[in-house]
Structure 1
């Protein structure tokens, strides 16, 4: 069952990438997916960070109240900024969370040009996230 879910996620990620590549004539702001991408594993995160200039990784947990409150904010950020937003469930990706030093959720890590550039812990408002993204755009 877990392998089926992982395969579906890989297919959806590939579809998003193909859809983005076919829109190559549009400006770079439109190249990032308009919805968050769910990541499962270090390889998927590495591929996504390598593909897009700005990636906002939302490390979250389903049981986390502040994470649930942050959900609409990160969806808006995905739709309205040039950052690609990825969601990483820390319960399913404990090694990945440990690799990036996630000790509390929500934790947001902004990758710029393939490298972690900013880290925000706790509930963030939309203006703060936009400001951090624009600082690295």
Structure 2
């Protein structure tokens, strides 16, 4: 990974931490007690999708917990339709949401047999457990996540 990619990833994580710290402050002292040393609750996941930078980053993101991975392309109309649903799921569920740009990460797309976008995978503790191709209903995605969190 290049230094610029490392810096971008570090900046993204820091923004997420700052938002969560602010939310914890606004929720009061009970919420603050539930957090770990950096102010982020120990069992919280990012409130925004994590954009995967490379293979190593992908493996790190899907390694633990429940992770919904959205393989997408910027030029894909159905992907754009799905984007607000994916963003909302990231913000409101206990799953991490990751986005993989198939044009930038062709090796990952090939490894997971992505032939059409959007394609979504649900990973549980590093293992792909579910695969969905095409635009998905928000309720169906929430139900899928709820089965594993």
TM > 0.5 between the two? Answer: yes
Structure 1 equivalent of residue 125 of structure 2: 113
Q: How many residues are treated as equivalent by the alignment?
A: 132
2 CA distance for matches of 1:9 and 1:118? 30
Structure 2 equivalent of residue 48 of structure 1: 61
Runs (4+) of structure 1 exceeding 4 A deviation are 2-5, 16-21
2 CA distance for matches of 1:113 and 1:85? 14
1:94 shift after superposition = 0.1
- The SS at the match of 1:32 is coil
Q: What 5-or-longer segments of structure 1 have no aligned partner?
A: none
Q: What TM-score, normalized by structure 1, do the two folds share?
A: 0.85
Residue deviations 1:15-72, cap 9 Å, x none?
A: 3686676245x473xx10000111011100111112x401111000000000000000
Q: What TM-score, normalized by structure 2, do the two folds share?
A: 0.79
1 CA distance for matches of 2:39 and 2:121? 27
Q: Larger Rg: 1 or 2?
A: 2
Inter-CA distance 9–100: structure 2 relative to 1 (3 Å threshold): farther
1:13 shift after superposition = 5.0
Inter-CA distance 23–80: structure 2 relative to 1 (3 Å threshold): same
Structure 1 equivalent of residue 52 of structure 2: 39
